[in-house]
Structure 1
Amino acid sequence: MSKRVLEILKSKFGDDIYETHSQFGDDTAVVNPEKWREIARFLRDDPQCAMNMFVDLTAVDYLGRQTPRFEVVLHLRSMERNHRIRLKARIGDEDANGADIASLVPVWKGANWFERECFDMFGVNFKGHPDLRRILMYPEFVGYPLRKDYPADKIQPLVELRNVPDKLPPFGIDEGMPFGRQTHDYPRGEETN
């Protein structure tokens, strides 16, 4: 059924669908990034496609392997027709400048935090996003940690603890450790219920 969606896309958008392929049950269309939002809206609104469920959005960095450098990847599902599709748009250049694409928040409100995460980790700029700012890293963080040219041993600048009302203080010496590393000193013979 998803192959039918690829055929519909090719007939509706023609040369703006750069390529399509199916692999391991996943049907994919690589699309013109300038038509990203228009194609997404069509997939949602067209009764034959009925892609009414936004599933996931992320990016992939192909540093030195592909030009343009990034692919933004969108996964959609039709609950009504029980099929799914993957859309990809290639953006940016080798220097990661021009990694811009239209935001899908006007099409699916659920794309909001996914796009913020993609911006935070890869530096992809979603044009028209209502609140494009970091979501996982702190605002002073320098760079984009999931880019392939981000140095793994990079030290980030230290920032002062912000005084925010009703905010919890930093972890104590015995807090925030992985479960297996915690030590508890219980006197012998005492119950720990």
Structure 2
Amino acid sequence: MSTSFQQENLAKALYSVLADKLSSLQAQNGELTIVVHADDICTVSETLRDNPVLGFDTLIDLCGIDYSTYGDTLSAKNSLRGKRFAAIYHLLSVNLNHRLRVRVLAENNDIPVIDSVTEIWPAANWFEREAFDLYGIVFSGHPDLRRILTDYGFIGNPFRKDFPLTGYVEMRYDAEQKRVIYQPVSIEPREITPHVIREEHYGDSES
């Protein structure tokens, strides 16, 4: 069975099974991406896992994303314009040998909240904690939602587009206190633009 034929069959099955819960479906670079509303993620996830035609038994990855600098690239016809944060789910059906990407945008840009899918795919546990840590996405119903990569007492979410490259604090060892301390970052923010000089006809093939 060709990849394109298998993808076409999967797309038809998704339209048929998910019906009105499917906001959009896109085929690009040999992969399918569907968009579902945040309120429907748990219901859709259960269907994707349990429906025998779909059979997505494995969550390969889950990551956060900040769309704040993407402009209007998200389709306006699906009422997704203006949404800043999303969770992206990468699913695999081991038995049926097909993959799917699911995009869920949080409704609130100030406090992004998406329901946890840990009860559906337990592997989501650490992935959701990572997205919470780096993007500040709150996964409602997660059994132990706390930071996983940043240090204790870390302020902010370092993968957000508005987080400064230098951060807000720095740490150093204080000889008098004999311990590591935090202090305001001492590096002044600056924009570094590399200056590149090319020789004339650089890269041209020799005749």
Q: TM-score, normalised by structure 1?
A: 0.76
1:46 equivalent in alignment to 2:51: yes
1:146 equivalent in alignment to 2:159: yes
| Alignment partner, residue 148 of structure 2 | 135
1:119 equivalent in alignment to 2:132: yes
1:91 equivalent in alignment to 2:96: no
Q: What RMSD, in angstroms, separates the aligned Cα atoms of the two structures?
A: 2.3
**What is the deviation of 1:92?**
4.3
- List 4+ stretches of structure 1 deviating above 6 A: none
TM alignment of 1:27-42, pairs within 5 A? 27-42=32-47
TM alignment of 1:55-94, pairs within 5 A? 55-64=60-69, 65=71, 66-93=81-108
TM alignment of 1:175-190, pairs within 5 A? none
2: CA distance, partners of 1:88 / 1:67: 15
Per-residue CA shift, 1:127-154, capped at 9, x if unaligned? 0000000000123000000000111122
1:16 equivalent in alignment to 2:21: yes
Which of residues 111, 115, 120 in structure 2 aligns to 1:107?
120
The alignment partner of 1:59 has SS state of strand
The alignment partner of 2:33 has SS state of strand
Change (3 A) 1:160 1:49: farther
Per-residue CA shift, 1:135-191, capped at 9, x if unaligned? 001230000000001111223264999xxxxxxx99xxxxxxxxxxxxxxxxxxxxx
Q: TM-score, normalised by structure 2?
A: 0.71
The alignment partner of 1:31 has SS state of strand
Number of aligned pairs? 161
The alignment partner of 2:126 has SS state of helix
Change (3 A) 1:78 1:30: same
**Which residue identity is paired with 1:68?**
K
Query: What are the ranges of 5 or more consecutive residues in structure 1 without an aligned counterpart?
Result: 162-168, 171-193
Does the 8 Å CA contact 1:2/1:85 hold for their aligned counterparts? no
1: CA distance, partners of 2:102 / 2:7: 12
| Alignment partner, residue 185 of structure 1 | none
Query: What are the ranges of 5 or more consecutive residues in structure 2 without an aligned counterpart?
Result: 1-5, 72-80, 181-207
2: CA distance, partners of 1:104 / 1:76: 12
1: CA distance, partners of 2:8 / 2:172: 51
The alignment-based identity, stated in percent, is: 34
**What is the deviation of 1:17?**
1.2
**What is the deviation of 1:13?**
3.1
**Which residue identity is paired with 1:25?**
G
Does the 8 Å CA contact 2:23/2:34 hold for their aligned counterparts? yes
2: CA distance, partners of 1:3 / 1:112: 32
2: CA distance, partners of 1:63 / 1:32: 19
Does the 8 Å CA contact 1:121/1:146 hold for their aligned counterparts? yes
1: CA distance, partners of 2:15 / 2:107: 24
